[in-house]
Amino acid sequence: MDFSAVSSALKAIGELTQEVTSLWGVDEQVEGLASELRWMQSFLKVADARKVDHEVIRTTVVEIIELAYDAEDVIEVFALKVASKRKGGFSNCIKRSACFLKEGCLLHQIKSEIEKITTRIEVLTRQLKTYDVSKLVVDGEGLSSSTERLEARRPYPHVMDDNIVGLDDGIKDLVTVLLDEQSERRVVSICGMGGLGKTTLAKKIYHHSQVVGHFKHLVWVYVSQHCQRRKVWEDILSDLILSEEDRKVNVEKLAKKLSSFFEENKCLVILDDVWSIEAWDSLKQAFSARETKSKILLTSRNKDIVSHADRNGYLYELQELNYNQSWELFQKIAFPQTNSPGYKIDAKMKELGEEMVKHCAGLPLAIIILGGILATKYPSLAEWLKVSANVKPYLNNDKGEVLRDVLALSYDDLPPYLRPCFLYLSHFPEDYEIPANRLIQLWVAEGIVSSKQEEGDEGQIAEDVAEGYLLELAERCMIQVRERDIATLKIRSFQMHDLMRDVCLSKEKQQKFLYIADQSNACQLSSIGRVRRVSAHKLFWIQCIKSPHLRSLLFFDTFLPGEEMEKEKVLTMARHDESFNPLVWFIAIGVLGTKLRGIWKYMFNNFNFLRVLDYERGGVAGCKLPNDIGKLIHLRFLSLRDLTFGSSKLPSSLGNLRCLQSLDLRIKNTRFKSAHVPNVLWRMQQLRHLYLPVECNRKTKLKLGTLRNLQTLVNFNTKNCYVKDLIYMTNIRELKIRGPFNIEDFNTELGKNPPIVQSKYLHSLSIINYEGRLDPRHLTHLLT
């Protein structure tokens, strides 16, 4: 369940209540709201710990998250519009007295909003008394379906799969490692996402003639998500020497007996489906023998386990099947007569099958399910055509339930802090390569990930916490890493397997996490009461969104695609006007400008609580960025990258966006190469990531010394920025200096031996197109 919404609201209240004077007028209401939010947080934790899966609980969780978002919004309005103005001395008091009436009205409005939210919580509390969580668990109505899924997929080592493709290399490698008695590798692991065939490969090893001949005893035990230590040990002993007396001894004696047996006998123990390091730690006492030739083979979706279990352990990572292997496996199942002499596959069916198998993305379980569905419809070409037109729905129907359940188990096993992180990935289109840095900035901006503070320690900043979460998703095989940093091995970009993404989308819809919009479904947005997040995969008119409490808006299409422009007759005429009629072009530009201004105006006037605004693919965005952007005072993340404007000047109202954490100003313009950035960025003292335009004009001169939290600074230029400001950026991690400039500028401003950057965190430095010699002393100081 998503705790982040409630935690974020409590954090906002906590920061506000640090200054008691700021709460004058709403102190009782805020304290009452905080108390109710803590109750909601406790409710979510209890429901999650007991794995309650009941319609009443699901509905309640969605309502609690909505209440938490509303609470955070109203508290932040108070913090930004009232509390922030109460700071300062006598001069600030005079300014406030001029608009005292306005502040009083706003205070009354905020007080009323808080009371409404508290009333809604009280109503929800009364309703829940009828549906007590513990009662639901006891009655068995709300027991987690993951338990049933686990039992349904329990493997039996004697049951072998006939249709196996692409495992020969894995069998060869694993058998070699297991038979090598000189090796110090005691733990061997098969890892990969659900449905890849880990258990199938382990069964092949279990029955392999060389393995059977080498080990005196072979034991197979199913561990599962809900690891029960005593049961696992008893299952192992039952395959060996378990007696009735053994069932009565305590766990310490049971572990000692197993450990002694493995030391005296050459055994292979296969632990199938180990989910966590904690599960291994609970079992390892039974495998503590030091001088032994026994070995352990485990299967898992978590790559961390093998290095934790044995620092010399061997990890075999299963990969998806390539296309030829996928087609070979598909033929074995979908065409039962393939092995018959003289049998020839129908050409049209082959064409359909080759196309359909691509939807399985190399996942053996998906191929087996799809092949099984088509085998029941063979040889009807009409039935095959039906399936071909709707491959994914068939993979998700009752016959595809096994696939859905196997992949859903990975989500069920996620700790609460990782679930909203995983759900957030549903924003991105299919096959999209997601940049890690951008995703981390979005997580932090939305409050899904926050910093960790520990006693006696500086703690971890939010970006480091988020990076750890991303790595954990990779270790759990829920994302596929595409690129790593050569020096640090940190994830730079990744993708989601198509079928894992389907699970993500399914869970996202269940929890109403976001709305994915395009031209086909955008009109439905107007009938949906509250939408917090919208991801626009294809352009639609944002006037369809009627939710004033929208928090994030991500665009994955150009600002105004060519096909939309073609719909306007005047624009089409101008485009095909070979004579270049000035009147036609004047009217066309006017029509286009009106449309674009309408988009911006609607956004700035209706989405006042927006925290994330991200344009991914740029496009023509109008004459200039409107001044009204300063109304979006809640913004944490703003990316204008590659948006094209007629004017090179950005509005000074950007300075109002004091909550901004990430700002990307790498815009384009139609007339000038350079852009003008007003000197207002120094006000954004929460800014952590700043991307300046590739080139700024001569009028741009930015003071950045107040940005003490800055971690990323791209396109810093000595012609437009003050070199001495770098000294104050003690948290900088990535610095990109863009020229042309003369390195002597650094000497002039900072002296002979300038400590240019005093950040101990700096790991990425690039200087583009510099002139003059770079003194080695400068480089040393830059990399301190």
CATH code at 264? 3.40.50.300
| Domain C-terminal end among 317, 336, 352 | 317
Q: Is the pLDDT of residue 66 over 80?
A: yes
| Residue 238, domain member (yes or no) | yes
Give the model's confidence band at 777: pLDDT under 50 very low, under 70 low, under 90 confident, else very high.
very low
Looking at the structure, do residues 358 and 467 belong to the same domain, yes or no? yes
Are residue 196 and residue 128 in the same domain, yes or no? no
- Using pLDDT thresholds of 50, 70 and 90, give the confidence band for residue 783: very low
Question: Rounded distance, CA 481 to CA 541, Å?
Answer: 34
Residue 364 structural domain: 323-451+458-487
- Residue 227 banded pLDDT, cuts 50, 70, 90: confident
Please, are residues 784 and 758 in contact by the beta-carbon 8 Å criterion? yes
Q: Note the pLDDT tens digit of each residue in 267-289.
A: 999 999 998 999 999 999 998 87
Picking from 266, 285, 317, the residue at the C-terminal end of a domain is 317
Enumerate the β-bridge partners of residue 276.
none
504-559 pLDDT, tens digit each? 998 888 888 899 887 777 777 766 667 889 998 887 778 888 888 899 999 998 87
Task: Kindly report, residue by residue over 461-470, the tens digit of the pLDDT.
Answer: 999 999 999 9
On whether residue 513 sits in a domain, the answer given is no
Letter for the amino acid at 251?
Answer: V
Q: Is the pLDDT of residue 774 over 60?
A: no
What average pLDDT does range 689-699 have in this prediction? 92
Report residue 410's pLDDT band, with 50, 70 and 90 as the boundaries: confident
Q: What is the pLDDT of residues 134-153, one digit of tens each?
A: 555 444 444 455 555 555 55
What was the pLDDT predicted at 23? 55
Q: Nearest CA to 543 among 606, 594, 590?
A: 606
For residues 364 and 467, membership in a common domain is answered with: yes
Residues 220 and 280 placed together within one structural domain of the fold: yes
CA distance 443 to 449: 6
Give how many domains the chain has, as a whole number. Answer: 3
Q: Identify whether 434 is part of a domain.
A: yes
- Same domain, yes or no: 255 and 182: yes
Q: Is 455 exposed, middle or buried (CB count within 10 Å of its CB: 0-12, 13-18, 19+)?
A: exposed
Q: Which of 55, 64, 59, 37 is nearest to 136 (CA)?
A: 55
Q: What is the pLDDT of residue 17?
A: 57
- 3-state class of 525 per DSSP? helix
Considering the domain architecture, whether residues 349 and 481 belong to the same structural domain is answered as yes
Q: Would 478 be classed as within a structural domain?
A: yes
Indicate the helix (H) or strand (E) that contains 316: strand 314-317
pLDDT(663) > 50: yes
Confidence of residue 498 (pLDDT cuts 50, 70, 90): confident
**The predicted structure's pLDDT at residue 90:** 45
Q: What is the pTM of this model?
A: 0.80
Q: Please give the angle made by the CA atoms of 726, 730 and 733, to the nearest 5 degrees.
A: 90
| Same domain (yes/no): 224, 344 | no
Residue 337 is predicted with a pLDDT of 64
Question: How high is the pLDDT of residue 746?
Answer: 55
Name the pLDDT band for 709 (thresholds 50, 70, 90): very high
More confidently predicted of 648 and 592: 648
Q: Average pLDDT of the chain?
A: 80
Q: Is residue 143 part of a domain?
A: no
CA proximity to 448, closest of 17, 1, 2: 2
**Cis omega before residue 420 (within 30°)?**
no
29, 74 Cβ separation under 8 angstroms: no
CA trace torsion 346, 351, 354, 358 (10° rounding):
-150
Residue 707 to residues 441, 514, 727, 782: CA-CA distances in angstroms? 17, 32, 11, 18
- Please check whether residues 309 and 345 belong to one and the same domain: no
Q: Which two tokens stand for residue 48?
A: 């999650």
pLDDT for the residue numbered 235: 86
- At 53 the pLDDT is 63
In single-letter form, the type of residue at position 738 comes to R
Classify residue 144: in a domain, yes or no.
no
Highest mean pLDDT among 12-21, 104-113, 570-579, 719-728: 719-728
* Strand pairing report for 712-716 and 533-536: unpaired
Indicate whether 414 pLDDT > 50.
yes
State how beta strands 734-738 and 217-222 pair: unpaired
Where a domain ends, among 282, 317, 352?
Answer: 317
**Same domain, yes or no: 306 and 346:** no
Task: Classify each residue of 522-554 as buried b or exposed e, where b means 16 or more C-beta atoms within 10 Å of its C-beta.
Answer: beebeeeeebbbbbbbbbbebebbebebbbbbb
What are the pLDDT digits (tens) for 342-378? Answer: 677 888 888 999 999 988 889 998 888 888 888 878 8
Residue 365, Cβ density class (10 Å: 0-12 exposed, 13-18 middle, ≥19 buried): buried
Cβ pair 369, 399 in contact under 8 A: yes
Q: Which two tokens stand for residue 180?
A: 């090598």
Give domain status of residue 522, yes or no.
no
Distance, CA of 304 to CA of 317 (rounded, Å): 12
According to the model, what pLDDT value does residue 578 have? Answer: 52
pLDDT at 294: 92
Each residue's pLDDT tens digit, 184-195: 889 999 999 888
Q: Which among 26-40, 55-69, 123-137, 668-682 has the top mean pLDDT?
A: 668-682
Which H or E run contains 598? helix 582-606
Residue, of 312 and 454, whose pLDDT is higher: 312
What is the rounded distance in angstroms from the CA atom of residue 305 to the CA atom of residue 640?
42
Residues 6 or more apart in contact with residue 150 via CB below 8 angstroms: 224, 225, 226, 409
pLDDT band at 780 (very low <50, low <70, confident <90, very high): very low
In this structure, are 80 and 210 located in the same domain? no
| Angstrom distance (rounded) from CA 565 to CA 575 | 10
pLDDT of 221 strictly over 50:
yes
* pLDDT at residue 130 in the model: 66
DSSP element (H, E) containing 666? none
75: left (phi over 0), alpha (psi -120 to 50) or beta: alpha
341 and 437 in a single domain? The answer is yes
pLDDT tens, position by position, 294-311 = 999 999 999 888 888 888
Distance (Å, rounded) from C-alpha 452 to C-alpha 459? 5
Question: For the ranges 170-174, 686-690, 758-762, which has the lowest average pLDDT?
Answer: 758-762
Q: Cβ atoms within 10 A of the Cβ of 82, count?
A: 20
The answer as to whether 530 is a domain residue is: no
Q: How confident is the model at residue 596 (pLDDT cuts 50, 70, 90)?
A: confident
Residues 471 and 424 in one domain: yes
